[in-house]
Structures are given as structure tokens and as C-alpha cells.
């Protein structure tokens, strides 16, 4: 093939990929990503913020109603399930709940009942979990006046509940958060589990949560494969495992891990597209084949970036084997797993009126992470992708200040 033939072949490749780019990025992805929060198309296409918020409120109210019906219909079965719990279990799950209200004037009529949805999901997942006798579930009602938290009172008829004694309201919200968190951690530690999982009442677990968590803990933390053999590891240096990190700050960035991840996605996806193209076309010369490889790699990288890292990570949900560990961030507290020795360290430091955090404006998640990671040099991890969703877009402390489109749950 002469020079003119090579140039014609290269022009044909460019035309084909220009058509592919146009179809995908102008038609296909805008359609697919229309309902994908955290994709690069979502903000561009979804401008009716008020309508989105009211749709979100409708979904939460419907989910709360279904959860209420679940408890009402499954009362006796749930009581029997929680009566058969094992002493010194593998995992103790505590759901920390307070009476929630919306500060934002525009949506003040919305009465959040996230704890109903979260407690129902945990119970439903536990029902189907083969090793449910190794897991105990408790509700921690930390409202200053527990009787005001009507949803938690309702759930207490079905799930064992710890009630925090009536206390005087704190002016320092950071101190109240610390006391509430430590109350639940202390009560859960008295059950003698190997691990303690604290969930906030707006942290909705995945449907295969317990099986994935156990698989990750046993194959990536307690044991690891080395030279094809599963070897036990010392877990005494484990501080905490974060099961949630905000999607809005979890996109592709210039972080080395993100660059490597995006490059790997581009290489694997680009190779598949290049092979498919070559299989469907006439034999390509070396320069045309190189051009196909470059255009395929660029196409996949651009598509992944447009869809968003949270959604790309969701492909790993197909198997527990695909979940992986990364360094644990200081943020956040919706879902945190503590081994028993680490929980004891946290309680010794923070569960005391003499602790010096009351005058601090530092958030509790930062204080705990620094104490475990720097003071005790424990290893803090995070599981990718998130094993829980953060349901609430409203703060009980302040009005809605961020764009709600950056706060919606990823899938619910």
C-alpha cells in the first residue's frame, strides 16, 4: 500500500472515530447520565433544582412509608431474630439517631425519617445473611429527650434500643456530637464484639453489605494472599475502616491513585475497542493501528471522566472480589468500622468530661482519625466503592448552603 493508500486509511479511521465520538458524547451519554448525580452531564442538564429536591423528598417519604409497613408486618419475626443473637459476636452494628428537622425555610415541611429506612434495610439484609447470628443490631437513641425521637421509639418495639439519659442541651454542637457518638460506641463495646460498626441514621447500607464486608475483612485485612497462599496478618495495628466517602469530592483528580486508575481504565477499555474495530475493518497498517489505539484510549478516558468516578467504581459492585482498600481519609462518620482494641482507645481518649475537645472547633471525625493514625500509628483504611449511601441532603444545624445536586444519594 502506497503513501496515498495509507493516508486514505488513516482518514477513514479518523472519520469513523469522529462519528463514534459525536454519537456517544452528544447523544448517548447525555441520555444515560441524565439521572446520574456526580456525572459531568448532570449539572449541565438538570437545572430545575427545586424540582429535583421535591422529587428527592417524595422518594424519601415513600421509602419511610414502606419501612414503617415492613416493621409493622414483620414484628414477631424481627423480635425472634434479635432474641437469638450470639454473645461476643463478630460484628455489633449501632445506628446512632436523633430527631431530625430541616433548617432550610423552603423545605421545612419535610420531616426526615431516615432512621426508619436505614433500620429496615439493615434488618432486611440481616434476614438473608447466612451468618446473621454473628451480627447484633442496636439502635442508639441519643436525642436529648429520647421521647422526642418518635421514629426511634417506634423501632424500639422491634429492635433492641439504647436510650441516652435525658441531658441538658449543649450549646457546643461539636461537644454534643462527641458525647452522642461515644455513648453509642461505649454501649456497643459492652456487647463484646470483635468489630463495632457505627452507622449514622442516614447511612443506607447496600443489599449485599454484610457478605462484602466480611469478605473484605477476611481476605484483605485479617488475611492476604501472598504467593498464592492465604496468610494470616496481625490486626492489632488496625485503627478504623471507613465505609463511606462523599461522592462529590471523590471524582477523578490529579491524585496519583486517580491518575493510575483512569489510565488503567483507558488502557483496558481502549484495547477492547481497538480490537473490535480491527476485527470489523480491513487489515490496518502500523500507523493506522497506532491511530486506532490512541483514539480508543482517549475515547474511553473521556467517557469515564464524563460519567464520573463514583459511577465507574460502581462496576466493582458486581463482585466482592473487586472491592479494594485505600488509605482512610479523616472524613467522615456516616459508617465507620472499629476493631475492639481501637474502640477502647477512642473511648479512653474522648469518652470523658475532662477531654479537651469541648473547646475545640475540630470535627469529631478529624479528631478520631488523627488520634488513631498519628498518636497510635494505627492503619486507617477505606473500602472502595462505598458500601453505604448518605441519604440526607439537609443539615439539622444549618440551612442548605450547597447545591443539592452535589448531595443527592448515588442510587436511591
Query: Domain with 384 in it: what CATH number?
Result: 3.90.550.10
Q: Which of 186, 183, 151 is nearest to 167 (CA)?
A: 183
Q: Which residues contact 383 (CB under 8 A, 6 or more apart)?
A: 213, 216, 241, 242, 243, 323, 324, 325
| 208 and 128 together in one domain | yes
| 187 and 293 together in one domain | no
| 238 and 277 together in one domain | no
Does the pLDDT value for residue 95 go beyond 70? yes
Structural domain harbouring 268: 3-35+252-307
| 188 and 337 together in one domain | yes
Burial class (CB in 10 A: 0-12, 13-18, 19+), 47: exposed
Looking at per-residue pLDDT, the higher value among 187 and 360 belongs to 187
Lowest mean pLDDT among 51-65, 198-212, 224-238, 298-312: 224-238
| 121 and 215 together in one domain | yes
| 386 and 303 together in one domain | no
- Domain count for the chain, please give it: 2
Q: How far apart are CA 214 and CA 390, in angstroms?
A: 21
Distances (CA, A) of 224 to 1, 62, 80, 213, 215: 54, 43, 37, 15, 11
| 231 and 332 together in one domain | yes
Lowest mean pLDDT among 3-17, 49-63, 116-130: 3-17
| 200 and 238 together in one domain | yes
| 148 and 90 together in one domain | yes
Looking at per-residue pLDDT, the higher value among 352 and 73 belongs to 73
pTM, whole model, 2 decimals? Answer: 0.91
| 283 and 167 together in one domain | no
pLDDT at 96: 97
> pLDDT tens digits, residue range 26-39?
999 999 999 899 99
Report the residue count for the chain.
412
pLDDT at 383: 95
For residue 277, is it within any domain?
A: yes
pLDDT at 359: 47
H-type alpha helices, 360-409 = 364-370
For residue 322, is it within any domain?
A: no
Q: How far apart are CA 63 and CA 114, in angstroms?
A: 9
Q: How far apart are CA 3 and CA 220, in angstroms?
A: 55
Q: How far apart are CA 330 and CA 311, in angstroms?
A: 23
For residue 161, is it within any domain?
A: yes
| 86 and 166 together in one domain | yes
Amino acid at each position: 500500500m502506497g503513501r496515498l493508500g495509507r493516508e486514505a486509511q488513516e482518514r477513514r479511521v479518523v472519520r469513523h472515530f469522529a462519528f463514534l465520538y459525536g454519537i456517544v458524547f452528544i447523544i448517548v451519554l447525555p441520555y444515560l447520565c441524565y439521572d446520574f448525580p456526580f456525572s459531568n452531564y448532570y449539572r449541565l442538564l438538570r437545572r430545575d433544582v427545586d424540582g429535583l429536591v421535591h422529587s428527592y423528598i417524595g422518594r424519601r417519604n415513600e421509602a419511610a412509608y414502606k419501612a414503617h409497613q415492613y416493621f409493622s408486618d414483620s414484628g414477631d419475626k424481627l423480635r425472634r431474630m434479635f432474641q437469638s443473637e450470639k454473645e461476643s459476636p463478630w460484628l455489633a452494628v449501632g445506628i446512632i439517631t436523633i430527631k431530625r428537622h430541616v433548617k432550610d425555610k423552603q423545605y421545612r415541611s419535610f420531616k426526615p425519617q431516615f432512621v426508619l429506612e436505614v433500620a429496615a434495610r439493615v434488618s432486611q439484609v440481616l434476614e438473608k445473611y447466612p451468618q446473621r447470628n454473628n451480627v447484633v443490631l442496636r439502635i442508639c437513641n441519643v436525642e436529648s429527650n429520647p421521647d422526642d425521637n418518635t421514629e426511634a421509639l417506634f423501632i424500639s418495639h422491634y429492635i433492641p434500643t439504647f436510650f441516652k439519659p435525658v441531658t441538658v442541651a449543649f450549646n457546643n454542637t461539636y461537644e454534643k456530637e462527641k458525647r452522642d457518638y461515644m455513648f453509642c460506641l461505649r454501649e456497643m463495646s459492652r456487647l463484646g464484639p470483635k468489630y463495632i460498626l457505627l452507622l449514622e441514621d442516614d447511612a443506607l447500607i447496600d443489599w449485599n453489605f454484610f457478605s462484602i464486608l466480611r469478605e473484605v475483612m477476611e481476605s484483605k485485612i485479617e488475611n492476604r494472599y501472598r504467593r498464592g497462599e492465604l496468610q494470616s496478618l496481625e490486626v492489632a495495628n488496625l485503627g478504623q475502616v471507613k465505609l463511606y466517602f462523599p461522592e462529590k469530592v471523590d471524582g477523578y483528580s490529579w491524585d496519583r491513585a486517580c491518575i493510575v486508575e483512569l489510565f488503567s481504565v483507558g488502557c483496558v477499555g481502549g484495547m477492547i475497542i481497538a480490537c473490535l474495530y480491527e476485527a470489523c475493518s480491513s487489515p490496518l497498517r502500523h500507523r493506522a493501528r497506532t491511530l486506532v489505539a490512541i483514539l480508543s484510549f482517549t475515547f474511553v478516558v473521556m467517557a469515564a471522566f464524563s460519567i464520573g468516578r463514583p459511577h465507574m467504581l460502581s462496576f466493582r459492585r458486581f463482585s466482592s472480589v473487586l472491592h479494594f482498600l485505600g488509605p482512610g481519609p479523616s472524613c467522615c462518620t456516616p459508617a465507620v468500622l472499629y476493631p475492639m482494641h481501637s474502640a477502647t482507645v477512642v473511648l479512653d481518649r474522648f469518652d470523658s468530661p475532662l477531654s479537651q475537645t469541648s473547646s475545640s472547633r475540630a470535627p469529631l471525625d478529624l479528631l478520631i482519625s488523627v488520634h488513631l493514625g498519628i498518636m497510635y500509628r494505627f492503619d486507617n483504611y477505606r473500602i472502595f466503592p462505598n458500601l453505604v449511601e448518605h441519604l440526607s441532603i439537609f443539615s439539622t444545624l444549618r440551612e442548605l448552603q450547597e447545591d443539592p445536586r452535589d448531595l443527592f444519594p448515588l442510587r436511591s
